[in-house]
Amino acid sequence: MSSKTRRKIITHEEQCVGCRICQLWCSYQFTGKFSFSKAFIKIEEPYGLEPKISFLEDCTTCGQCADHCLYGALEKIEEGM
């Protein structure tokens, strides 16, 4: 019997500083270019409020964004199925 794992990216928005490194890594792996607008992760910073993190439908949950977030705002979780 084969075992499969499912990956999830958990957000900790209170730790996000809005650096957008996650967007650069995401866009680079799919387009070969560093582009905020081509990333599958969105960072919105409402004025005076903590950043909001969301993912587009095209996100593959590869985890690259979490691996490169220096502030602990993204956490990669592997779940057994």
Interface residue list for ligand SF4 (CB under 6 A)? 9, 16-22, 25-26, 40-41, 43, 51, 53, 55, 59-65, 69, 71, 73-74
Q: What are phi and psi of 33, to 5 degrees?
A: -130, 150
At closest approach, how far in Å is the CB of 55 from ligand SF4? Answer: 5
At closest approach, how far in Å is the CB of 48 from ligand SF4? Answer: 17
Degrees to nearest 5, angle at CA 75 with 74 and 76: 125
At closest approach, how far in Å is the CB of 3 from ligand SF4? Answer: 22
* Token pair in block for residue 70: 């220096």
For the chain, the residue count is 81
Q: What are phi and psi of 6, to 5 degrees?
A: -120, 135
Residue number, 1 or 58, with CB nearest to ligand SF4: 58
